A = this chain, B = another copy of it.
Amino acid sequence: MAAEGVLYRNFNELPAQAKLSQLALNPLDLSRPGVVNPERIANYRASGGGFDLLFFGQRLDERALAALQELADESQAVRQFAAMRQGAVLNLIEGFASENRQVLHCSCRDVFSKMPVEPKSAEQAKTELAKLRCFLMELADGRLSAPNGEPFTGMIQVGIGGSDLGPRALYLALKAYARPDRVVKFISNVDPDDAAAVLGELDLARTLVNVVSKSGATLETLANEELARQAYRRAGLKPEDYFVAVTGQGSPMDNPRNYLRSFYLFDYVGGRYSATSMVGLVMLGFALGYEGALAILRGAWRMDGAALEPEIGKNPALLLALLGIWNRNFLNYESLAVLPYSQALTRFVAHLQQLDMESNGKSITRQGQELAWQSGPIVWGEPGTNGQHSFYQLLHQGTGLAPVEFIGFRQNQYAQDLVLQDTTAQEKLLANLLAQSLALALGQTDANPNRRFPGNRPSSILLTDRLTPESMGALLALYEAKVVFQGFVWNINSFDQEGVQLGKTLASRLLAHYAARRRKQPAPADPLAQALLAAAKLV
């Protein structure tokens, strides 16, 4: 099904684009006295899906904001989002060989209403959830236990890219809510030391291994799976009693002889959008219990609903997308720093790097034409106050700079806290977050040039009450929607990743040399590969 009634328009053909270009010639200067005032702070705010977005710290006024709303309307960003949820084939490049797939990650969480938006995929999601529920019940009530009769207390997730980054970020974010009797570890890198370190940390006799690969043929994952199977065999354990597969139906991994269970994922859910599919949920269900996993879905589902709101004041994902476009295409900032003031979000930015840069690091339109405008920024960042004692120096006083998205929570996850100098640690954390946003905007004059801050450096603040499974699901969905909205406005395909292929091809040329050596065959005639291996002192 095509995106019915949606017209793809090029970014530089949208009337609002020209208007914004004009406005960007003279953008708001946040460091001018009085610009950042109580009224602006109160008014530059949007709410939806449980999150508040404060954006007084962006370099725009009411006119630019109105033009951004027009940009959203003219590009039909929300309408494309709705079409995506309904099953439009949006993963394509028109007129060229491409993946030609639907984009239905939202269906993974469209399991709460009687009338799902795209019934077939929502039904498939429900089926997998029901399988997961059974699996988790059997683990909980002891019907399914380790061969030694003990309950399973550990899980190792083996996956790479989207099968690792999003799930890992969510697990670490929600560890405070994990069952105290269960622990999860991850193996992702093809680095054999990664596997060795993790396999050495757990009691394998009580540990499940969750192998995640859509194709069932991801080389890194197969290598790590095999390292894990060897470790189990060395420990006198049969891998098939411990290994679980999350894979495409009918893939080489969909084989009950090798796995305790198979959970399915579908080609309409891309890797970087798959955290709320079985890719993330099997592991998260094991750690948090079924209700915890479901709470993540509920939060994401609510945010998906908020993302359908055409008015930017009620749609934080859309507004965040547009502010990003303002900074990238009109004010020409190349990168974006995402700075969560929560240690639990320690790997969330690594997930966002994939989500954003793999989706929108593109140079052609959905019609295969070279872009005449910038697409996705470089995304980077680290949690909160540790960053303040690190790279914030450059954010405040560098010759370069990056717009910032702060993420904060009004309360902390654990009950533990203490009052020192009349404030709690959580209050210090929040005060620092808000203060950084102000400092970036206002700057400071001083007779000592080293104590001058230029200010006028853009930032936004995303806030909600507490980091819980539900709000984590909402935050995940918020960024998914943000990235997708930007792709729609830029008229690019945010759902493929052809840019990873060339490296793979060239790696196989180099591996052919290693393989030939191992087989005691002559090296392939490939002067470039030979020179490179020699220069690296690898032959």
Contacts and interface: CB of A to CB of B under 8 A. Distances in A.
A25 interface: no
Contact of A38 (B37, B373, B528): B528
A449 B481 CA distance: 26
15 contacts: A160-B385, A161-B388, A192-B425, A195-B425, A226-B420, A335-B378, A350-B382, A353-B391, A357-B390, A357-B391, A360-B394, A378-B400, A395-B499, A396-B502, A435-B506
A176 interface: yes
A247 to B, nearest CB: 16
Residue from A192, A423, A426, A515 having most chain B Cβ neighbours under 10 A: A192
Interface in A390-409: 390-400, 402, 408
Given A389-B162, A514-B423, A448 B363 contact: no
A3 B291 CA distance: 65
B230 A531 contact: no
Contact of A52 (B341, B360, B537): B537
Interface stretch (A122-130, A257-265, A450-458): A450-458
A227 interface: yes
B425 A96 contact: no
Interface in A367-423: 368-371, 373-380, 382-386, 388-400, 402, 408, 410, 412-414, 416-423
Interface stretch (A65-73, A102-110, A215-223): A215-223
A523 interface: no
Interface stretch (A113-121, A183-191, A309-317): A183-191
A421 B219 CA distance: 9
Given A52-B536, A193-B413, A510-B434, A499 B380 contact: no
Interface in A501-538: 501-511, 514-515, 518-519, 527-528, 530-538
A361 B393 contact: yes
A196 interface: yes
Given A191-B341, A363-B399, A376-B400, 10 more contacts: A38-B528, A54-B535, A161-B386, A161-B388, A192-B429, A197-B414, A378-B400, A435-B504, A436-B506, A450-B498
Residue from A164, A271, A443, A500 having most chain B Cβ neighbours under 10 A: A500
Q: How many monomers of this protein are in the complex?
A: 2
A477 to B, nearest CB: 19
Interface in A307-365: 334-335, 341-344, 350, 353-354, 357-358, 360-364
A165 interface: yes
A89 interface: no
Contact of A361 (B350, B362, B397, B422): B397
A98 interface: yes
Residue from A380, A417, A453 having most chain B Cβ neighbours under 10 A: A380
Contacts of A45: 535
Contact of A343 (B39, B161, B191, B506): B191
The 5 closest A-B pairs by CB, nearest first: A361-B394, A161-B389, A38-B531, A361-B398, A380-B380
Contacts of A182: none
A493 B532 CA distance: 38
Contact of A397 (B37, B363, B423, B531): B363
